[in-house]
């Protein structure tokens, strides 16, 4: 099992010419923030510049952009099919990349499947998602990883980069066959037991050590389980009043500290998922200064919601790790701005409605995220001046792309590169309607909220997966 | 009374507490069986939805409703559709469809009564939810204190024991603050809730130093299983450091009361002779509980207006 099997469906590539005209191009890889046209031909960006002519041939287009190499791929096939998309007032960005997604297939299709989850991703401006391993069966074999990857190709709305489990069955004991997954068609270089922390320090140490052979990244849910038995919400003033068992910030920080120490000793790569506490931010900031190979993510909900909201006992707000205090939110925002936190990740976690319609303590943890992520970041962080637009887009694109290998996603908007792009309207204000989401589940904590900013178009290799706010309908979406 | 539900003491204003206590005062002769039942809530159906076992509280609510001539249906988790996997929501919708007039709910899940109030249009009366609230317990305690001490403004109450896991403590502190009493919490540090200083009570660890200053000593039940989770080392040590025995009883002011929400662990938080002493009003709390629950049911179901006009006994004794 050292090379991809021959029967895998090829990646879908767009055909024809698309001119994204007059948008504000935010290209974090190049540091570009300027009004530009972007010309796409047969799935590939062929020119970025001013006043591009979509009818000119590829060589001419490319020449209008200083430094571009005429005759780059895409220039060969000239099509008469030309579409001009007016992007005035919109941002043109790399397609978003989510390193932390739950698509629930296989096993929990009553909450989400790869069709509905991919549609949610496309609607959210994403071109690449990393579905987590806590499916049934668990993604601890090439068979499961390739199933997920292949379904993604068939649906063809986003590219899927599955996450393999660190341990077999998420049991925290025996290592998953990293090599088998790395060499599968899904080419997995990122492993996580998701919500199940690898509690045993020796298992984690061996996993980090073994992963060195594949330059793989390990992502460990940062929660010391002995400190969080029965935990229901952030431990603090509100858990005290609401009578809910607390999830102390120390439980997150102790696990991160342990993993950072282990990773430093081994020179291994560590990714810290959904950072939520000010103390965790300080640990990661210090680790980066020391040169430890660590990346980190924060979710839109932890960047915007606080534990006082739990006073409603609405289980839609139940999530692990829990929403924290205003001080923690402030620290997370600073960390996202200064790059201590590399990526915004959704931890998109669909749950069937009947599971969330229970008493708080019995409801499962998790929130939807893909379709609101950009809007929450834009509303809470950009409109408030915490992040400039280019930095915000960086945390949705090049940031997550630095966490693991996601192919051509999240990179530069430049001639010769696959046209994985998002076009967003940063000023469009809309009210979140849980029933109108593409996800099969409805558990968004932002339901009823007015948010600012919405993806208008998403292109995967030059093919519209979202166009004028509508997800393309020919895809195998089973919602 | 403007109150639609009684879910948390936090939802009450000072005047509402006084109204409940005054109404309970009028109910007390009926609760004490000095007067017969009254037809006030005739035709009303009260459902006791007990998703967590609590025979004492259920019987108290049962009696309170019956003294007001309401019909009572008891719905407990055991032997019901809940034990067959029916969801909380479906249970709520079923009760709604059956046309009950009030749901008295007890649940091990903090927040369940508030959630229930979103599913049902009838008044919800919280009979205890998780570690969150037990509002009628706090009201009956304040009622009992007021009967002995009069105005509680400026009075000092020590609440001693497992504050962390106690729904009673949360309601008690809020209710006492509403009537102007001062509260001091005494507990092993492991059994104090996080950020407890925000509750508006003072915290002390030396029980002996607190006892001479207080008007009421309120002891909480400590569950023996807590020592298995390293909250404290043993029931013997608990009794010695935090429990109240005859020696500590003698440190109290002469007119100070000893109270306990029950059920007691004699020999742990309270010694037998303290429980049975003339300072203890623990059995009185039980009787007062019926009167306070009658008052709350009356105010939720019969609406505004003076209670005494409608409190004519059906049959003269």
Region A327-340: what's the mean pLDDT?
A: 98
Domains, chain B, in order of start with CATH, read 9-133+286-315 (3.40.50.1370), 135-281 (3.40.50.1370)
Distance from CA of A330 to the nearest CA of B (A): 20
- The rounded mean pLDDT for chain B is 92
Residue A350's alpha-carbon distances to A4, A34, A200, A270, A437, in angstroms, are: 31, 37, 29, 26, 11
Residue B79's pLDDT is what?
A: 58
CB contact under 8 A, A240 and B87: no
What pLDDT shows up at residue A474? 72
Residues of A within 8 A of B112 (CB-CB) are 313, 359-360
pLDDT at A77 over 80: no
Residue A246 has pLDDT above 90, yes or no: yes
ipTM of the prediction greater than 0.90, yes or no: yes
End-to-end CA distance of chain A: 34
Interfacial A residues in 358-387 facing B (CB < 8 Å): 358-362
Q: Tell me the pLDDT band of B224, cut-offs 50, 70 and 90.
A: confident
Q: What is the mean pLDDT of residues B268-273?
A: 96
Three-class SS state of A274: coil
Average pLDDT score, chain A:
93
Alpha-carbon B27 to chain mean position: 17
In this prediction, residues B44-63 reach a mean pLDDT of 95
Q: What is the pLDDT of residues A389-398, one digit of tens each?
A: 999 999 999 9
What is the average pLDDT across B239-261? 97
Q: With CB atoms and an 8 Å threshold, state whether B88 touches A243.
A: no
**Candidates B130, B138, B225, partner chain A, best to mutate (most A CBs within 10 A):** B130
Which tokens sit at A181? 């997954």
Average pLDDT over residues A401-406: 98
Q: Is the pLDDT of residue A375 over 90?
A: yes
Whether residue A362 and residue B114 make contact (CB cut-off 8 A), yes or no, is no
Contact B88 A236 (CB under 8 A): no
Residue with more model confidence, B132 or B316: B132
| Torsion from C-alpha of B267, B196, B128, B148, nearest 10 degrees | 60
Say if B133 is an interface residue toward chain A (CB within 8 Å).
yes
Output the six-digit token pair for B99: 């046309």
Residue A132: other Cβ atoms inside 10 A: 27
Per-residue pLDDT, averaged over B95-107, amounts to: 94
pLDDT of residue A84: 97
Interface residue of A228, A233, A237, A240 to substitute, partner B, most B CBs within 10 Å? A240
| Chain B hits for A248, Cβ within 8 Å | 194
Inter-chain touch A362–B133, beta carbons under 8 Å: no
pLDDT tens-digit readout, B180-198: 999 999 999 999 999 999 9
Q: How far apart are CA A80 and CA B36, in angstroms?
A: 95
Q: Is residue B223 within 8 Å of residue B197, measured between CB atoms?
A: no
Tell me whether B288 touches chain A (CB under 8 Å): no
Find the DSSP H helices in chain B. 14-31, 55-67, 88-98, 112-119, 135-149, 167-178, 207-210, 235-241, 246-249, 272-275, 282-301
Do the chains contact at A359 and B193, CB–CB below 8 Å? no
Chain A residue numbers with beta carbons less than 8 Å from the beta carbon of B119 are none
**pLDDT at position A12, please?**
92
DSSP state, A21?
E
For residues A466 and A95, the answer to whether their CB atoms sit within 8 Å is no
The values of phi and psi at residue A468, to 5°, are 50, 40
| Residue A81, pLDDT score | 82
Q: B131 vs B42, B51, B142, CA distance in Å?
A: 34, 14, 20
Residue B310: predicted pLDDT: 57
pLDDT category of residue A2 using cuts at 50, 70 and 90: low
pLDDT value for B302: 86
Q: How far apart are CA A387 and CA A381, in angstroms?
A: 6
Catalytic site positions of A: 347
Contacts of B43 (CB under 8 A, 6+ apart): B71
* Mean pLDDT across B271-287: 97
CB < 8 Å to B133, chain A: 243
Shortest distance between the Cα of A439 and any Cα of chain B, in A, equals: 23
pLDDT band at B160 (very low <50, low <70, confident <90, very high): very high
Of B110, B130, B195, the CB nearest to A236: B195
Give the up-direction half-sphere exposure of residue A440: CA atoms within 13 A in the CB hemisphere: 22
Tell me which of B271 and B34 has the higher pLDDT. Answer: B271
Locate the chain B residue with the closest alpha carbon to A310: B111
pLDDT for residue B9 is more than 70: yes
Say what percent of chain B tops pLDDT 70: 92
Three-class SS of residue B96? helix
pLDDT digits (tens, 9 = 90+) for A345-370: 999 999 999 999 899 999 999 999 99
Quick: pLDDT tens for A146-199: 999 999 999 999 999 999 999 999 999 999 999 999 999 999 999 999 999 999
Cβ-contact B220, B162 below 8 angstroms = yes
Task: State yes or no: is B226 an active-site residue.
Answer: no
Contact status of A81 with chain B (Cβ, < 8 Å):
no
From the CB of residue A168, how many other CB atoms can be counted at a distance below 10 Å?
Answer: 16
- pLDDT at residue B179 tops 50: yes
Q: Which residues contact B209 (CB under 8 A, 6 or more apart)?
A: none
- From B88, B167, B195, residue closest to A243, measured CB to CB: B167
Say if CB B159 and CB B172 are below 8 A apart. Answer: yes
Indicate whether A64 pLDDT > 60: no
Which of A229, A241, A316 best probes binding to B when mutated, by most B CB atoms within 10 angstroms? A241
Q: Do A240 and B89 touch (CB under 8 A)?
A: no
pLDDT at residue B86, rounded to an integer: 77
Lowest mean pLDDT among A74-88, A442-456, B258-272: A74-88
**Quick one: pLDDT at residue A479?**
42
A159-160/A126-131 β-pairing: parallel
Whether the predicted model's global pTM rises above the 0.90 cut = yes
For residue A70, what pLDDT is reported? 42
Catalytic: B147?
no
Average pLDDT over residues A234-254: 98
Of B146, B135, B134, B141, nearest in space to B159 by CA: B141
Which residue on chain B is closest to A357 by alpha carbon? B89
A80 pLDDT above the threshold of 70? no
Chain A neighbours among B 141-170 (CB < 8 Å)?
A: 167, 170
Does A432 have pLDDT greater than 70? Answer: yes
Query: What phi and psi values does residue A27 have, to the nearest 5 degrees?
Result: -120, 90
End-to-end CA distance of chain B: 31
CA distances from B286 to A57, B144, B170 (A): 91, 10, 19
- pLDDT tier at B229, thresholds 50, 70, 90: confident
Structure tokens at B309: 């006009």
- The pLDDT score that the predictor gives to residue B228 is 74
Taking alpha carbons only, the member of A203, A163, A209, A202 closest to residue A186 is A163
Average pLDDT over residues A110-118: 98
Interval B257-267 mean pLDDT? 95
For the cut 50, the answer to whether the pLDDT of residue A458 exceeds it is yes
The whole-angstrom distance between A245's CA and the closest CA on chain B is 9
Binned at pLDDT 50, 70 and 90, residue A3 comes out as low
């Amino acid at each position: 099992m050292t090379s991809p099997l021959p029967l895998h469906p090829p990646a879908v590539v767009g055909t024809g010419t698309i001119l994204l005209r007059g948008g504000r191009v935010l290209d974090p890889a190049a540091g570009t923030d300027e009004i530009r046209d972007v010309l796409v031909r047969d799935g590939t960006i062929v020119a970025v510049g001013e006043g591009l002519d979509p009818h000119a041939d590829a060589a001419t287009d490319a020449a209008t952009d200083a430094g571009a190499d005429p005759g780059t791929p895409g220039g060969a096939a000239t099509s008469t099919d030309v579409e001009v998309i007016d992007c005035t007032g919109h941002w043109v960005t790399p397609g978003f990349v989510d390193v932390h997604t739950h698509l629930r297939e296989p096993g929990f299709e009553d909450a989400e499947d790869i069709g509905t989850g991919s549609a949610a991703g496309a609607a959210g401006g994403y071109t690449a998602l990393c579905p987590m391993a806590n499916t049934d069966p668990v993604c601890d074999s090439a068979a499961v990883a390739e199933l997920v990857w292949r379904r993604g190709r068939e649906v063809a709305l986003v590219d899927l980069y599955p996450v393999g489990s660190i341990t077999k069955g998420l049991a925290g004991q025996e290592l998953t066959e990293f090599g088998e997954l790395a060499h599968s068609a899904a080419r997995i270089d990122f492993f996580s037991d998701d919500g199940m922390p690898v509690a045993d320090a020796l298992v984690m140490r061996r996993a980090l050590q073994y992963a060195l052979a594949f330059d793989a990244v390990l992502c460990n849910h940062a929660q010391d389980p002995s400190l969080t038995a029965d935990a229901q919400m952030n431990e603090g003033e509100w858990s005290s009043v609401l009578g809910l068992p607390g999830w102390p910030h120390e439980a997150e920080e102790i696990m991160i500290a342990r993993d950072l120490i282990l990773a430093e000793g081994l020179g291994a790569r560590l990714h810290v998922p959904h950072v939520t506490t000010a103390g965790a931010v300080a640990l990661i900031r210090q680790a980066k200064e020391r040169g430890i190979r660590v990346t980190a993510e924060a979710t839109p909900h932890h960047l915007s919601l606080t534990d006082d909201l739990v006073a409603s006992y609405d289980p839609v707000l139940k999530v692990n790790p829990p929403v924290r205090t205003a001080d923690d939110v402030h620290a997370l925002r600073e960390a996202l701005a200064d790059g201590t936190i590399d990526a915004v990740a959704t931890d998109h976690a669909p749950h069937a409605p009947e599971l969330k319609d229970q008493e708080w303590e019995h409801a499962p943890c998790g929130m939807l995220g893909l379709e609101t992520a950009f809007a929450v970041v834009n509303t809470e962080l950009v409109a408030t001046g915490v992040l400039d637009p280019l930095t915000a887009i960086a945390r949705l694109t090049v940031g997550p792309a630095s966490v693991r290998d996601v192919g051509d996603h999240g990179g530069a908007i430049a001639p010769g590169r696959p046209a994985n792009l998002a076009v967003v309207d940063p000023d469009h204000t809309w009210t979140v309607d849980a029933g109108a989401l593409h996800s099969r589940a409805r558990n968004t904590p932002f339901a009823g909220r007015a948010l600012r900013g919405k993806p208008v178009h998403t292109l995967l290799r030059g093919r519209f997966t979202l166009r004028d706010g509508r997800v393309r309908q020919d895809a195998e979406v089973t919602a | 009374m403007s109150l639609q539900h009684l879910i948390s003491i936090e939802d009450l204003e000072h005047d509402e507490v006084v109204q409940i206590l005054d109404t309970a005062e009028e109910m007390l002769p009926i609760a004490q069986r000095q007067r017969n039942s009254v037809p006030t809530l005739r035709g009303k159906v009260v459902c006791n939805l007990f998703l967590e076992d609590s025979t004492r509280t259920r019987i108290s609510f049962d009696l309170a409703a019956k003294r007001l001539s309401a019909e009572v249906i008891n719905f407990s988790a055991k032997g019901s559709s809940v034990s067959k996997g029916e969801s909380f929501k479906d249970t709520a919708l079923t009760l709604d469809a059956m046309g009950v007039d009030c749901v008295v709910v007890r649940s091990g899940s903090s927040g369940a009564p508030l959630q229930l109030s979103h599913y049902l249009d009838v008044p919800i009366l919280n009979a205890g939810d998780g570690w969150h609230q037990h509002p009628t317990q706090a009201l009956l305690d304040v009622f009992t204190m007021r009967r002995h001490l009069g105005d509680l403004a400026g009075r000092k109450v020590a609440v001693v024991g497992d504050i962390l896991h106690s729904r009673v403590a949360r309601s008690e502190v809020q209710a006492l603050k509403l009537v102007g009493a001062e509260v001091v919490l005494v507990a092993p540090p492991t059994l104090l809730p996080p950020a407890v200083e925000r509750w508006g009570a003072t915290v002390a660890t030396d029980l002996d130093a607190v006892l001479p200053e207080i008007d009421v000593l309120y002891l909480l039940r400590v569950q023996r299983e807590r020592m298995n989770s390293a909250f404290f080392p043993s029931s013997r040590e608990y009794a010695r450091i935090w429990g109240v025995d005859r020696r500590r009883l003698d440190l109290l002011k002469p007119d100070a009361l000893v109270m306990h929400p029950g059920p007691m662990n004699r020999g742990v938080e309270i010694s037998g002779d303290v429980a049975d002493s003339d300072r203890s009003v623990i059995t009185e709390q039980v009787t007062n509980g019926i009167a306070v629950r009658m008052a709350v049911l009356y105010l939720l179901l019969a609406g505004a207006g003076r209670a005494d006009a409608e409190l004519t006994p059906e049959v003269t004794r």
